[in-house]
């Protein structure tokens, strides 16, 4: 990193500076600006990031995992907000977000998968969630393109989808309409003065001053120079490769809802958009910052998706892409104030960034205005990872 011994003083000051213009940074900036805070975003390509790759499943119920019941509460709160959130964004910006209340079908291909899905069903019911067990025949009646070998499945009508690329574009427009200022460059380091975050310095050496800084740089959040070590979020990149196929009109409706399964231990999902796009995801690889699309990744996705829906091999393959999920130690996001005055986090959303966008915007705006997280977001304070919290013995 280069040094900037003499910073150019700048007229760029705001109440809030958001570092990172992916969907999480944008929703934070938009909601902050709506609360009357003068807000700026620094990002070379706002609206980019993992949302350009993500499939956009809003899968609070089908992505429930043992040990993640606290996260479930936040996921469900955000899923509940989606209809009003999407309607507000569309009314404001004119962007159609591709929000589709199509539901999800999670299916089992063999006896082990079926046992695993049965357990998930039990956990869902214990958690008060709605899902319905279907036989293989009932699954195929709903989705005739499914493989004949499907042994059963879970129908979850409440797990919807949105097109994350459209969401990013709409949030960008909403920010612009709300007067958010964009600095289209890299934040090179955080500025800390008298033990308080007071802004960031850009790659060009321009200082962007701010009353509060929100670090919302996705998987990059853990490596912004200037952030003290004990505050730096423990976020790591988790690569996901995703394919896009096109469903020609003669095959429509190829699938009428999201279809997913665990094949040989890997998650595979097929998300059908209303515009004929079929998104197939996703690998999950801990390979640092690598975003290469590999033959192996594409092969594994096509092989597993083909096992689920054999007809996909007829479809044109239109895009292959890899992105980086911001993984955190407990798979949950880090939201709100840190131990460093003036610095807040909105990162670590891992597999749930698109789903958690509405609730993150609300939580961060609340924290920026009041200094505290709202009730539903309190378990996700970054302070849970401070040395003191981690060494605390349970009573
Ligand atoms: N939530 C889907 C994924 O991360 O692959």
- Read off the CATH number of the domain in which 249 is found: 3.30.9.10
Kindly state whether residues 317 and 267 are assigned to the same domain.
Answer: yes
Q: What is the pLDDT of residue 386?
A: 87
Tokens of 303: 């092989």
CB 127 within 8 A of CB 62: no
Please tell me the distance from the alpha carbon of residue 50 to that of residue 123, in angstroms, as a whole number.
29
Residues of the chain under the 70 pLDDT cut: 1-11, 393-395
Considering the domain boundaries, does residue 91 fall inside one? no
Considering the domain boundaries, does residue 227 fall inside one? yes
Which residues are paired to 280 by β-bridges?
Answer: 243, 270
DSSP state at residue 378: G
Kindly state whether residues 209 and 178 are assigned to the same domain.
Answer: yes
| Count of alpha carbons within 13 angstroms of residue 151, beta-carbon side | 14
* CA 318 to ligand 1 center in whole angstroms: 20
Residue with tokens 């890899």: 322
Kindly state whether residues 338 and 381 are assigned to the same domain.
Answer: yes
Kindly state whether residues 208 and 287 are assigned to the same domain.
Answer: no
Tokens of 241: 């490769």
Q: What is the pLDDT of residue 387?
A: 76
Please count the structural domains in the chain. Answer: 2
Residue span of the structural domain in which 388 resides: 8-52+166-234+329-392
Residue nearest to atom 4 of ligand 1 (CA): 351
Kindly state whether residues 296 and 344 are assigned to the same domain.
Answer: no
Considering the domain boundaries, does residue 77 fall inside one? no
Which residues lie with the beta carbon below 6 Å from any ligand 1 atom? 57, 240, 281-282, 325, 351
Kindly state whether residues 207 and 258 are assigned to the same domain.
Answer: no
Q: What is the pLDDT of residue 393?
A: 57
Which ligand 1 atom sits nearest the alpha carbon of residue 325? Answer: 4
Which ligand 1 atom sits nearest the alpha carbon of residue 59? Answer: 1
* CA 375 to ligand 1 center in whole angstroms: 26
Kindly state whether residues 16 and 33 are assigned to the same domain.
Answer: yes
Residue nearest to atom 3 of ligand 1 (CA): 351
Q: Which residues lie closer than 8 Å to 364 by C-beta, 6 or more apart?
A: 27, 28, 31, 32, 214, 335, 336, 344, 346
Kindly state whether residues 251 and 386 are assigned to the same domain.
Answer: no
* DSSP per-residue letters across 311-372: GGGGSPEEEEEEEEEEE-TTSS-EEEE-SSBTEEEEE--GGGTTTTHHHHHHHHHHHHHHSS
Kindly state whether residues 261 and 386 are assigned to the same domain.
Answer: no
Out of 311, 327, 343, a domain closes at 327
Q: What is the CATH number of the domain that holds 184?
A: 3.50.50.60
Kindly state whether residues 339 and 213 are assigned to the same domain.
Answer: yes
Considering the domain boundaries, does residue 82 fall inside one? no
Considering the domain boundaries, does residue 365 fall inside one? yes
Considering the domain boundaries, does residue 307 fall inside one? yes
CA 146 to chain centre: 28
Considering the domain boundaries, does residue 186 fall inside one? yes
* CA 59 to ligand 1 center in whole angstroms: 9
């Amino acid at each position: 990193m280069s040094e900037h011994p003499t910073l150019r003083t700048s007229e760029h000051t705001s109440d809030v500076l958001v570092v990172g213009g992916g969907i999480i940074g944008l929703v934070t900036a938009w909601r902050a600006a709506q609360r009357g805070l003068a807000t700026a975003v620094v990002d070379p390509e706002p609206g980019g990031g993992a949302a350009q790759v993500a499939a956009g499943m809003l899968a609070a119920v089908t992505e429930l995992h043992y040990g993640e019941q606290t996260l479930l509460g936040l996921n469900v709160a955000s899923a509940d907000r989606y209809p009003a959130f999407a309607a507000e964004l569309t009314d404001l910006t004119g962007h159609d977000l591709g929000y589709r209340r199509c539901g999800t079908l999670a299916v089992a291909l063999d006896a082990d998968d079926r046992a695993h899905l049965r357990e998930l069903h039990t956990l869902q019911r214990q958690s008060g969630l709605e899902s319905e067990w279907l036989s293989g025949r009932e699954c195929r009646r709903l989705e005739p393109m499914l493989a004949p070998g499907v042994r059963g499945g879970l129908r979850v009508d409440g797990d919807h989808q949105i097109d994350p690329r459209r969401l990013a574009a709409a949030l960008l427009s909403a920010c612009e309409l709300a007067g958010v200022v964009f600095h289209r460059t890299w934040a090179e380091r955080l500025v800390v003065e008298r033990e308080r975050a007071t802004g960031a310095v850009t790659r060009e050496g321009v200082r962007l001053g701010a009353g509060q800084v929100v670090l919302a740089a996705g998987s990059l959040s853990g490596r912004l120079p200037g952030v003290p070590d004990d505050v730096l979020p423990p976020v790591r990149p988790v690569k996901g490769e995703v394919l896009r196929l096109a469903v020609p009109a003669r095959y429509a409706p190829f699938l009428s809802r999201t279809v997913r399964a665990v094949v040989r231990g890997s998650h595979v999902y097929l998300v059908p958009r209303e515009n004929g796009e079929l998104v197939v995801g996703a690998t999950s690889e801990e390979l640092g910052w690598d975003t290469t699309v590999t033959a192996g990744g594409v092969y594994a996705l096509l092989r597993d998706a083909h096992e689920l829906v054999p007809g996909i091999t007829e479809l044109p393959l239109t895009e292959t892409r890899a992105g980086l999920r911001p993984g955190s130690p407990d798979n949950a996001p880090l939201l709100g104030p840190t131990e460093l005055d003036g610095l807040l986090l909105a990162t670590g959303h891992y597999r749930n960034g698109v789903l958690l966008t509405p609730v993150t915007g609300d939580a961060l705006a609340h924290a920026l205005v009041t200094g505290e997280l709202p009730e539903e977001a309190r378990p996700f304070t970054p302070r849970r990872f401070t040395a003191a919290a981690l060494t605390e013995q349970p009573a």
